[in-house]
Each structure stands twice: as structure tokens, then as C-alpha cells.
Amino acid sequence: MSTTPVLGFSEPHTPEEAMQDSRGDPLAGLSDLSTPEPGNAGMGFKFGLQPLNPHDIPVDTAKLVLEANALVESITTWRKGKVYTYDAPVAGLEVPTFSTILDGEYWCARVSHVNTDTYPFATLVKHLTGAEFKEGEWVIRDRYRHTESEGRYIQLVVRWRPIQWSSFSKSVLEGSTDTFSPEFSYLQDWICVNLEYRFGSMLSNREFNEFILVTPPKRLCDLNPDEADESLVCFVISLVANYTVTAGNVHAAYCSVERLKYDPQTNQVEWAMATCSDARGNLPRKLQRLMAAKAISHDVPSFLQFLNALRKDEDGSIN
């Protein structure tokens, strides 16, 4: 998972406020951008809320990342929503939001920009993906760093825990080892996690089970030979895992694609995220859609405040 689910009680937010934010029905006027139209256009894998098993995860990770990048690039062609403005931790922080329908599912997105003088690209990458620049290259030593950070800056997270690959099928691993069998070797860059969210005393806790791929920064032109863009990009891709929910919790579903893009020419970082989700239970989908934009926008200042709270080195810069 890479942000607050679109139910989004990340701060007080009534249905009346949601209606005002979204100016009525969020689906009004939206067309389904299903294949082959823009959105999931031309993609071999359709991002969405379908529950997946390990053998359903695309084998070609490089192709999946290109498809994720195409999805992110399409965001600004979606219907423009409200631009949320926050005065903390950065005065005048603007978070534009967008929405569309892809293959029958409502998607919401945000695109914001971060000042690298205050929040260096390496810091953002470290705490969003777990990647660090060591000895001339970007490496990920802890693929759970992303989820660990979420547990610290998203107040709704009650707990998180890894899900062992052997929980799905003994054939995923070789015997009793932690080594993937040849058939599932493509999963070495993936993790599976369980996150439990509490949305309030009147609602049952929601449980999200996710396959998560985090990628270290690479130049766009290296990911795609047809690209001339030398910007660095890294991704967090979350897919719905077909995993048994804990008794007493509502089994919710969440899918997202998140990208950090650093342009060395402008020294600017763009942080984009697109998501669809369903909190399920007794919560109407329309209400969830109405509250989606504000929920995902609020993750931007929450994450930056989290960085501010981290230990600082002697010169006052954020590690």
C-alpha cells in the first residue's frame, strides 16, 4: 500500500464536506477509459481490484513498470478535481487531484511537487521505497521500509506485518528455504504485507493484503529506449493479494501506482499517485468516492511532516 485508502478519514471529514469538495456525484460526466482508450491503454496488465495469487503477478517486471509509468503519465488527462492547499509543513503546499474510470473502476489521483532544497530526492526515495545510493548505485536493502514508513505517518494504520510467501503455496519456495523456486523467481523483487486500518469506533477495522513492488531510481531513458528523458524515476506498485483476512476484520481491497520523478535540469521532484480501492462492509462506494480526493491529498503533508520529525544531523538537514 502506498497511501491512505480512499475511505480517507485521515482527518475530520463529513459527507457534507465531501459533497462540497467533489461538487456532487464524482462519477458524473466520467467516461470509462477502458482498453484501448487512454488510461489502461495498450496495457498487458490491468491495474484494479481483482484479487491475485502469486502466479497472477506479471512475470516481466520491467514491462509492468513501463505500464505503471504509462498510467501515471495519463493522470493529467483525467478529469481535474479540487486543488487542496496546506500551510503545514510547507506554506502554500498545493496538491491537485484528478479522477477517471478505468475498466469499470473509479480511480483517483494526485500530482504534487516537492522542494528538493528542503526535502532532498535521496531522502524522499529512502523513506518511500527503501532505496539508498551506495557506492555509486541505488540499492534496496530493506523492501519493508516503505510499509514501515506508512505505519509511522498514516495515523489510521493500527499495525502491519509481512505475509510469508509460503502462506499461498508451498511451491513458491524451494522446500523449507527462503529461496524462490525457479517458477516463481520473478517474485524476488516483491513483498506481501497485511495492513490493518481503524477508521473509527463505529466501523470495523479494515484489512488490506497487498503485493508490493518497490523499484530503485532509474533514468526514464534506461527504462524505455524510446524515451530521451533522463529524469530519475522510482515506483511503488501495490496489487490486491488473495489472502485470508483475520477474523473480525472487513476484507478491503486497494491498488495503486506511485511514482517519484526527479528532473536534474530543474532540480524538482514530482510525486504522483493513482489509486482505486474499496473499503467494503457497509460503506457505500459513492460515499467512498466522494471522500477520495481529500484523503489522498492529505498524505502529502502527512509524509513531509513525518520527515520533519525524523532525527536531523548536525547541520539541520533531514537524513
Segments of the chain scoring below 70 in pLDDT: 1-43, 311-319
Give how far the C-alpha of residue 19 lies from the chain's centroid of Cα atoms, to the nearest Å.
Answer: 25
Phi, psi (deg, nearest 5) at residue 294: -65, -40
Cis peptide before 89 (omega within 30 of 0): yes
Q: Point out which residues pair with 102 in neighbouring strands.
A: 105
**pLDDT score, position 22:** 42
The number of residues in the chain equals 319
**pLDDT score, position 273:** 97
Render pLDDT for 54-78 as a digit per residue (tens, 0 to 9).
999 999 999 999 999 999 999 999 9
Tell me how crowded residue 31 is: count the other CB atoms within 10 A of its CB.
Answer: 10
**pLDDT score, position 231:** 95
C-alpha cell recorded at residue 277: 480501492
| Residues in CB range of 191: below 8 A, 6 or more apart | 143, 144, 147, 162, 211, 212, 214
Global pTM value: 0.87
**pLDDT score, position 178:** 81
Phi, psi (deg, nearest 5) at residue 115: -75, 115
d(CA 281, CA 203): 9
Domains, the chain, in order of start with CATH, read 15-24+36-309 (3.30.530.20)
**pLDDT score, position 317:** 58
Output the CA torsion sign for 300, 301, 306, 310.
positive
The DSSP letter of residue 84 is E
**pLDDT score, position 39:** 42
Q: Point out which residues pair with 195 in neighbouring strands.
A: 160, 208
